[in-house]
Amino acid sequence: MRHLIEITDLTTGELDQLLSLAEDMRSRPDDYRESQRGRILATLFFEPSTRTRLSFESAMLSMGGGVLGFASADSSSTAKGESLQDTIRTVSCYCDVIAMRHPKEGAPLAAVQKATVPVINAGDGGHNHPTQTLTDLMTIRREKGRLDSLTVGLCDDLKFGRTVHSLIAAMSRYPGVRFVLISPPELRLPAYLTQALDDRGIEWASLERMEDALPTLDILYMTRVQRERFFNEADYVRLKDTYVLTPEKMALASPDLRVLHPLPRVNEISPRVDDDPRAVYFDQVRNGRYVRMALITKLLEVGA
């Protein structure tokens, strides 16, 4: 049985296959309409979500499968004191695959020990978010035609942003990718991740001003400051509006730049940027449904 806890659980060969399947699903959705008939996905969300949970559900429903689950810890027996492992053991009796989001780093790994069906990490604290990375990779591949030889800028909360951590882990496996890390000093990428880049000889630079980076980038990956991970509200308030992407700043960038954002956005991208053809974050949302269809299909194939 296969799970998806970290993006590197998939080889680059498997990733490429999965993205190709997602492309096929996007172009011929009718051919997959009944492909998971009789199968059930459980979405266990111990933390808020709009896109991730609904795209998982939409993915399973688009393939004729069924969905069940909960959207907050308070509406499950967690509120009565049930352990995560007992919840997972229970839910495994009702479904064929589980997608879970949890505020604690490592919770999905603990879940795997009691699960009798595949488990997908839909975000664990400030750690990882591999299915957002699938969405990001599909978007970059569609826009650029490749995943190698790209200069990727990641901007804002690189410390707590789990989508950033998983995207770097995935993209650093493709040759010729360099990273430009744009953040205030307090929100820099954790040292274990920059160390991993150094160990593998991958080129990266760290900057504070987005204006300095913009002209050099192929991809700009914006993120929100992760308020829920801060220990102190005053720090959040001080840092939350450090970066705001505007049409004036976009004028500094290449006509071939693409701007991604996992969403939700708060203030970091002005809505005035939305009509710029280089802003692809809403198409990125659309891709989220097809990569999750592909992932569910692959995990259930192995499990069958």
Q: What ranges make up the beta strands (E) of the chain?
A: 40-45, 66-70, 97-102, 119-124, 151-155, 178-182, 204-207, 219-222, 258-260
| Options 11-19, 30-38, 260-268, 293-301: segment touching ligand NCD (CB under 6 A) | 260-268
Residue 129 is a binding residue for ligand NCD (CB under 6 A)? yes
Distance CA 266, CA 234 (A): 17
Contacts of 117 (CB under 8 A, 6+ apart): 1, 92, 95, 96, 97, 98, 303
Q: Which is nearer to ligand NCD, 52 or 121 (CB)?
A: 52
Q: Establish whether 240 is a catalytic residue.
A: no
Contacts of 29 (CB under 8 A, 6+ apart): 62
The angle, 0 to 180 degrees and rounded to 10, between the axes of the packed helices 162-171 and 191-199 is 0
Residue 52 is a binding residue for ligand NCD (CB under 6 A)? yes
Calculated CA dihedral for residues 111, 112, 114, 115, nearest 10 degrees: 100
Q: Establish whether 101 is a catalytic residue.
A: yes
| Options 178-186, 187-195, 256-264, 271-279: segment touching ligand NCD (CB under 6 A) | 256-264
Count residues near ligand NCD (CB under 6 A): 12
- The secondary structure of 34-63, three-state, reads CCCCCCEEEEEECCCCCHHHHHHHHHHHHC
Contacts of 114 (CB under 8 A, 6+ apart): 85, 86, 88, 89, 92
Judge whether 42 and 69 are in contact, CB under 8 Å.
yes
| Catalytic pick among 2, 26, 51, 188 | 51
Q: How far is the CB of 228 from ligand NCD (least distance, A)?
A: 9
Q: How far is the CB of 263 from ligand NCD (least distance, A)?
A: 5
**Which one of residues 78, 121, 132, 151 is an interface residue with ligand NCD (CB under 6 A)?**
132
Q: Which is nearer to ligand NCD, 26 or 51 (CB)?
A: 51
**Which one of residues 102, 224, 289, 292 is an interface residue with ligand NCD (CB under 6 A)?**
224
Distance CA 207, CA 205 (A): 7
Binding mask 261-290 for ligand NCD (x = CB under 6 A): -xxx--------------------------
**Which one of residues 51, 144, 173, 286 is an interface residue with ligand NCD (CB under 6 A)?**
51
| Catalytic pick among 52, 131, 151, 297 | 52
| Catalytic pick among 102, 129, 141, 289 | 129
Q: How far is the CB of 168 from ligand NCD (least distance, A)?
A: 14
Distance CA 285, CA 293 (A): 14
Where in 152-191 is the site for ligand NCD (CB under 6 A)?
162-163
Q: Which residue sits closest to ligand NCD, CB atoms considered?
A: 262
User: Catalytic amino acids?
Assistant: 51-52, 80, 101, 129
For ligand NCD, the binding residues (CB under 6 A) are: 51-52, 123, 129, 132, 162-163, 223-224, 262-264
